[in-house]
């Protein structure tokens, strides 16, 4: 089943996707599937073990199901100072 | 009213009581770089009574576009020492101490012992997790900041009062791999970006001292200075947290890095040393199978990647120096 989600990219992912955010019709059931869909699109250098995902302003597991209208943010760790 | 602080003491949130709190506060700033520069200046200007500055590094010409405590005259001098001199001139009310060495698991308890609040202005995951864990174990307040190009994050923790709130290890149980994202040196940064995030960190720190509302523990503030989009993202306490759960695996500060089987902690005599900072080329075909090669660089990140590649080519006699030259 397709649903529309809003995705935002942070730090190195923003650099690699070359966009701040996008709306996407996706059949991905959870955050894990969505990340793999986006990784094949943008060739992200980071994977699930080095990233966090937040849905609607809360960090969550990659197994969290996606719902229509969710706002999904992928966040790599940041260390610059 | 003390004229120096008059304009902030007029604020109902400050007043005589707040100014006294600032005067009695003891704040340790670890990292006197891009984030540390505004943090240190605003702490001193506000009248924070005791300020500690910890940084092992020396002022380099490439620092000056963002580390605005330093001038061209300071090149080659210790950052902590120059920063201390600067703060002494800025405000003689502040007692400033400098710690001119790299924070590590052996010295962190002693360095932190005289301070109540720690502001983490470092630029690598190893230091950030070390400082975080130490603040938890020694019950300090902590304000963290980090930046990437035009973006950054800040987090606040009060480990003296908050047993029920999440810690950073609830979100990141393991220290992220060094080199999985770049630092300022590799990714580039505009000076003002570190200025904005350092100022935000200092604002949270001063509010903590004044016992005002700060960013909730277990929240990350992310801010993108390209389009000014801002977000606060929350995480939950984890019952499996290695640090703050009921059965934690981290009970004291110790050397936490898990060495890969081809990393070593120190240079030993039998190694043939290869300094990647001088010459990044190494011909795998020319390698002598009877020798053991030790590769090193500034921080041990590049050399680790390099050795991983050589190992994949079948060169089992290659090693990387953990922490690089900086870590020694």
Residue A13: CATH number of its domain: 3.10.20.30
Residue B168 sits at the chain A interface (C-beta within 8 Å): no
The residue with greater pLDDT, B79 or A44, is B79
- Residues from chain A that touch B36, judged by Cβ atoms under 8 A, are 81
Residue A18 sits at the chain B interface (C-beta within 8 Å): no
Is A66 inside any structural domain? yes
Residue among A20, A50, A54 minimizing CB distance to B176: A50
Average pLDDT estimate for B282-305: 85
- Residues from chain A that touch B194, judged by Cβ atoms under 8 A, are 80-81
Structural domain boundaries enclosing A57: 3-75
Parallel, antiparallel or unpaired: strands B117-120 and B95-99: unpaired
Identify the closest residue of chain B to A20 by CA–CA distance: B227
Residue among A14, A46, A77 minimizing CB distance to B172: A77
Is A59 inside any structural domain? yes
Average pLDDT estimate for B28-50: 98
Q: Where are the alpha helices (DSSP H) in chain B?
A: 6-9, 15-24, 36-46, 79-90, 108-112, 125-137, 168-171, 184-187, 191-209, 302-312
Average pLDDT estimate for B157-180: 87
Report CB contact under 8 Å: B147, A76.
Answer: no
Is A64 inside any structural domain? yes
Average pLDDT estimate for B272-286: 83
CA angle B1, B2, B7 (to 5 degrees): 85
pLDDT value at position B326?
A: 74
Average pLDDT estimate for B72-101: 98
Q: Which of B244, B291, B253, B257 is nearest to B272 (CA)?
A: B291
Average pLDDT estimate for A69-77: 93
Kindly report the backbone phi and psi dihedral angles of residue B319, in degrees, each rounded to the nearest multiple of 5, phi listed first: -140, 160
pLDDT value at position B178?
A: 65
- Residues from chain A that touch B122, judged by Cβ atoms under 8 A, are 79, 81
Q: Give the A:B interface size as CB pairs under 8 Å.
A: 96
Residue among B33, B36, B152 minimizing CB distance to A78: B152
Identify the closest residue of chain A to B194 by CA–CA distance: A81
Residue A28 sits at the chain B interface (C-beta within 8 Å): no
Average pLDDT estimate for B23-48: 98
Tokens of B51: 């300020």
Number of independent structural domains in chain A: 1
pLDDT value at position A37?
A: 95
Residue among B128, B171, B233 minimizing CB distance to A79: B128
Q: Is the pLDDT of residue B180 over 80?
A: no
Side-chain-side CA neighbours of residue A56 (13 Å): 8
Distance CA A23, CA A68 (A): 11
Distance CA A22, CA A18 (A): 11
* Residues 261-300 of chain B whose Cβ lies under 8 A from any Cβ of chain A: none
Integer angstrom CA distances of residue A79 from A44, B62, B209, B302:
19, 19, 25, 16
pLDDT value at position B259?
A: 60
pLDDT value at position A74?
A: 93
Residue among A12, A57, A81 minimizing CB distance to B231: A57
Structure confidence by residue, pLDDT tens digits, A22-70: 999 999 999 999 999 999 999 998 888 889 999 999 999 999 999 999 9
pLDDT value at position B231?
A: 94
Is A81 inside any structural domain? no
Report CB contact under 8 Å: A77, B121.
Answer: no
Residue A70 sits at the chain B interface (C-beta within 8 Å): no
Residue A29 sits at the chain B interface (C-beta within 8 Å): no
Identify the closest residue of chain B to A14 by CA–CA distance: B151
Q: Where are the alpha helices (DSSP H) in B270-312?
A: 302-312
Parallel, antiparallel or unpaired: strands B271-275 and B292-296: parallel
Q: How confident is the model at residue B188 (pLDDT cuts 50, 70, 90)?
A: confident
Q: How confident is the model at residue B184 (pLDDT cuts 50, 70, 90)?
A: low
Mean model confidence pLDDT for chain B = 91
Residue B239 sits at the chain A interface (C-beta within 8 Å): no
CA angle B35, B214, B20 (to 5 degrees): 85
pLDDT value at position B1?
A: 78
- Residues from chain B that touch A75, judged by Cβ atoms under 8 A, are 220, 222, 233
Identify the closest residue of chain A to B122 by CA–CA distance: A81
Is A80 inside any structural domain? no
Identify the closest residue of chain B to A76 by CA–CA distance: B181
Is A43 inside any structural domain? yes
pLDDT value at position B263?
A: 76
Average pLDDT estimate for B102-114: 95
Structure confidence by residue, pLDDT tens digits, B224-266: 999 999 999 999 999 999 999 998 989 888 876 556 667 777 7
| Mutation for A interface: B56, B129, B148, B166, most A CBs within 10 A | B148
- Residues from chain A that touch B235, judged by Cβ atoms under 8 A, are 58-59
Average pLDDT estimate for B293-310: 85
Residues near B176 by beta carbon (within 8 Å), at least 6 away in sequence = A50, A77, A79, B125
Is A39 inside any structural domain? yes
Kindly report the backbone phi and psi dihedral angles of residue B302, in degrees, each rounded to the nearest multiple of 5, phi listed first: -60, -45
């Amino acid at each position: 089943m397709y649903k529309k989600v809003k995705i935002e990219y942070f730090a190195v992912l923003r650099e690699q996707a070359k966009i701040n955010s996008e709306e996407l019709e996706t059949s991905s059931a959870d955050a894990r599937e969505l990340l793999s869909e986006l990784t094949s699109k943008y060739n992200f250098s980071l994977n699930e073990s080095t990233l966090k995902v937040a849905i609607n302003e809360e960090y969550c597991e990659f197994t969290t199901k996606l719902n229509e209208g969710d706002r999904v943010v992928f966040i790599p760790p940041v260390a610059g100072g | 009213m003390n004229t120096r602080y008059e304009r902030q003491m007029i604020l109902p949130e400050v007043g005589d009581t707040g100014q006294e709190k600032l005067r009695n506060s003891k704040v340790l700033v670890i990292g006197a770089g891009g984030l540390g520069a505004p943090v240190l200046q605003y702490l001193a200007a506000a009248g924070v009574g005791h300020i500690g500055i910890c940084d092992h590094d020396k002022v380099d010409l490439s620092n000056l576009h963002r580390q605005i405590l330093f001038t061209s005259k300071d090149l080659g001098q210790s950052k902590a020492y120059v920063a201390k001199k600067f703060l002494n001139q800025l405000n003689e009310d502040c007692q400033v101490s400098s710690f001119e060495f790299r924070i590590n698991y052996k010295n962190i308890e002693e360095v932190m012992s005289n301070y109540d609040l720690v502001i983490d202005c470092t630029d690598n995951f190893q230091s950030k997790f070390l400082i975080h864990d130490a603040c938890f174990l020694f019950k300090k307040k902590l304000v963290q900041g980090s930046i990437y190009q035009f973006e950054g994050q800040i987090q606040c923790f009060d480990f003296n009062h908050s047993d029920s709130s999440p810690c950073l290890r609830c979100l990141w149980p393991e220290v992220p791999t060094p080199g999985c994202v770049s630092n300022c040196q590799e990714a580039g940064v505009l000076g003002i970006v570190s200025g904005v995030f350092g100022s935000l960190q200092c604002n949270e720190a001063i509010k903590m001292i004044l016992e005002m509302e700060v960013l909730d523990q277990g929240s990350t503030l992310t801010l993108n200075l390209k389009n000014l989009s801002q977000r606060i993202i929350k995480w939950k306490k984890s019952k499996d947290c290695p640090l703050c759960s009921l059965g934690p695996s981290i009970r004291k500060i110790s050397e936490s890095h898990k060495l890969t089987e081809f990393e070593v902690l120190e240079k030993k005599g039998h190694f043939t040393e290869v300094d990647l900072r001088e010459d990044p080329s190494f011909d795998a075909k020319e390698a002598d199978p009877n020798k053991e090669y030790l590769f090193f660089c500034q921080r041990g990140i590049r050399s680790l990647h390099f050795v991983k590649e050589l190992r994949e080519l079948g060169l089992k006699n290659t090693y990387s120096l953990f922490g690089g030259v900086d870590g020694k």
